Amino acid sequence: MKMVYLDNNATTAVAPEVVEEMLPYLRDHYGNPSSMYGMARQTALKIRESRARVAGLLGASPEEIVFTSCGTESDSTAIWAAIRTTPLKRHIMTSRVEHSAIKNLYEYLAHNGYRVTFVPVDGKGRLDLDYLYDHLSEDTAVVSLMWANNETGVLFPVAEVAREVKARGVVFHTDAVQAVGKIPMDIDRTDIDLLSLSGHKLHAPKGVGALYVRKGTKFTPFMIGGHQEGNRRGGTENVSSIVALGKAAELAAGLLEEENTRVKALRDRLESGILAAVPHAIINGDTEHRLPNTTNISFEYIEGESILLMMDELGICASSGSACTSGSLEPSHVLRAMGVPYTAAHGSVRFSLSVYNTREEIDYVIEKLPPIIERLRAMSPFWKSAQAG
């Protein structure tokens, strides 16, 4: 059966060039990078190259990159470092639409003595900047904002916010897991202190990530152990995955242009094709400031999960809400924070593309999806009463 993979915000295929680059570090070069002989030194040198490649994608210096096991670890490391290095401050801020990696950590901290401000968004998922600035105080330890929303693709103006936040002496972290490799970045020119990224969102394998730590930022490790990563993250390095992340970063830098032209055009084609064929379909989120690969569409009066199951029978992979929340019937906290009505939030589907998608695949989805929606609506009491009323 044909397979059309449109769930790249959940995870991505490992690029063939990445597999090629990492394999020798699983098969042949197994030396511990901390050891003293030639084979081990070679792995240490390769890690150094990977660090420079990741730094290159961000516009950072290699010493500012700390390899971790995933985006979640990078997020936790950043927030714990920010609060442990400012022990007298008891207030922390984030938005209401963060990924669970930040959301659940902040909720944990709220139950453990921290005063937490969750900044609201408007109906298009845009941050309420006045609310944010009004709630900053002498007591604020850290502001953490995602660069791009994983469900809607909406971009927050993190560089602008970082400038304001830093001017008031507060640490600024961004969860850039969905943004890295999809939009250009020049982190050195911003006031961002800490930035999280994850390998499996940019065609490296699962289980590797990185944290950018601006030179001079106060830091304390999350994983306390050996001297790896310049004393910033204990634990023997996951060499092959770090090599993979380095290669993926290099590839992503070369594909940024394509991501923002061809992939964006495919996303727009998908979106307009669906909207033209399906009544009561609504795009969720700000379409102006958005990732080039993502669209989140609500099909009113039906369940997103049913749409996914029927698309799956035709080989189409997409997502309703974020992968982590599927399995629960609660509509996504992101769409709820945006005030999307229940009838629309329940029927939301996220399509997220990559450079591996083709026009033929998009046309296949545009052809197959409308009859699915029609069949589901024919069975939906909500649709029938909306039509009658």
List the catalytic residues: 324
**Backbone phi, psi, residue 77, to 5°:** -60, -45
Q: How far is the CB of 177 from ligand PLP (least distance, A)?
A: 4
Query: How many other CB atoms are there within 10 angstroms of residue 160's CB atom?
Result: 12
Q: Sheet of 348-352: strands edge to edge?
A: 281-283, 294-299, 348-352
CA atoms within 13 A on the CB side of 370: 15
Q: How far is the CB of 147 from ligand PLP (least distance, A)?
A: 8
Candidate ranges 65-73, 83-91, 271-279, 296-304; the one touching ligand PLP (CB under 6 A):
65-73
What's the rounded Cα separation, in Å, for the pair 58 and 185?
5
Q: How far is the CB of 323 from ligand PLP (least distance, A)?
A: 7
Query: How many other CB atoms are there within 10 angstroms of residue 355's CB atom?
Result: 18
Establish if 91 lies at the interface with ligand PLP (CB under 6 A). Answer: no
What's the rounded Cα separation, in Å, for the pair 178 and 198?
8
Q: How far is the CB of 74 from ligand PLP (least distance, A)?
A: 8
Closest-by-Cβ residue to ligand PLP is 71
Establish if 209 lies at the interface with ligand PLP (CB under 6 A). Answer: yes
Establish if 198 lies at the interface with ligand PLP (CB under 6 A). Answer: yes
Candidate ranges 42-50, 66-74, 214-222, 250-258; the one touching ligand PLP (CB under 6 A):
66-74
For ligand PLP, the binding residue among 72, 238, 319, 348 (CB under 6 A) is: 72
Q: Which helix (H) or strand (E) holds 297?
A: strand 294-299
For ligand PLP, the binding residue among 101, 136, 204, 263 (CB under 6 A) is: 101
Establish if 71 lies at the interface with ligand PLP (CB under 6 A). Answer: yes
Q: How far is the CB of 291 from ligand PLP (least distance, A)?
A: 11
Q: Which is nearer to ligand PLP, 198 or 357 (CB)?
A: 198
For ligand PLP, the binding residue among 7, 21, 64, 175 (CB under 6 A) is: 175
| 8 A C-beta contact, residue 326 and residue 312 | no
Q: Which is nearer to ligand PLP, 95 or 306 (CB)?
A: 95
Establish if 14 lies at the interface with ligand PLP (CB under 6 A). Answer: no
Burial 112-151 (b: 16+ CB within 10 A, else e): eebeebbbebeebbbbeeeebeebbeeebbbbbbbbbbbb
Instruction: Find, among 270, 268, 285, the residue nearest to 340 by Cα.
Output: 285
For ligand PLP, the binding residue among 146, 194, 195, 345 (CB under 6 A) is: 146
Q: How far is the CB of 70 from ligand PLP (least distance, A)?
A: 3
Q: Kindly give the residue spans of alpha helices, DSSP state H, lying in 114-263.
A: 129-135, 158-167, 228-231, 239-258
One-letter amino acid at 102 equals I
- Contacting residues toward ligand PLP, per CB under 6 A: 70-72, 99, 101, 146, 150, 175, 177-178, 198, 200, 209
